[in-house]
Amino acid sequence: MISTNTQTDSLLVLGGCRSGKSRYAEEWLNSRFQRKLFIATLATSNDQEMKTRVALHRQRRDASWQTVEEPLRLAAIIRGKQSEVDAILIDCLSMWISNCLFAEMSDTAIEEEVQQLALAVQKLTVPVVMVANEVGLGLVPDNPLGRRFRDLAGLTNQQLAAACTKVIFVAAGLPLPLKG
């Protein structure tokens, strides 16, 4: 089904691990759009369990999905690909922040990337859905890298929630509207 909505929606889907947030995001797009772009932020992994998870995610998506694996340059990818598709899904922002940390980017550089993504989302001509882990409900990490990740992920979620027209929190597979 091709959307007849004239307003470009931007949706942030938050939730805990295994909450159903990715499935919700995919189903939301599947029910509305024909040509969809899936931007996978997971960098290629040698971890067999992670490879199995990726394969299961791929099995859920049919031929109407184009997939791009991009661990770092999200704003550039969505700006460059928007004319080729009806809607975009980025899964997941939390992994993106991890990738930035492992690329040894400074907090300032990561915050600039987040700002660029927020600006790109607001200027898109097609709807975008972004998936992220809600990190504010967990324990305080016991190490500096864990706390740095939590702080950057929380900041990212806040900035992108402000930039989006809708925000949904998913718990136990159930969507809870937070905005829009």
DSSP-derived pairing of the beta strands 128-133 and 174-179? unpaired
DSSP-derived pairing of the beta strands 166-171 and 174-179? antiparallel
Q: Which residue among 23, 57, 73, 166 is the active-site one?
A: 57
The first and second tokens of residue 166, run together, are: 């809708």
- Whether residue 101 contacts residue 78, with contact meaning beta carbons closer than 8 Å, is answered with no
DSSP-derived pairing of the beta strands 65-69 and 87-91? unpaired
**94 noted as active-site residue:** no
Q: Which residues are catalytic?
A: 57
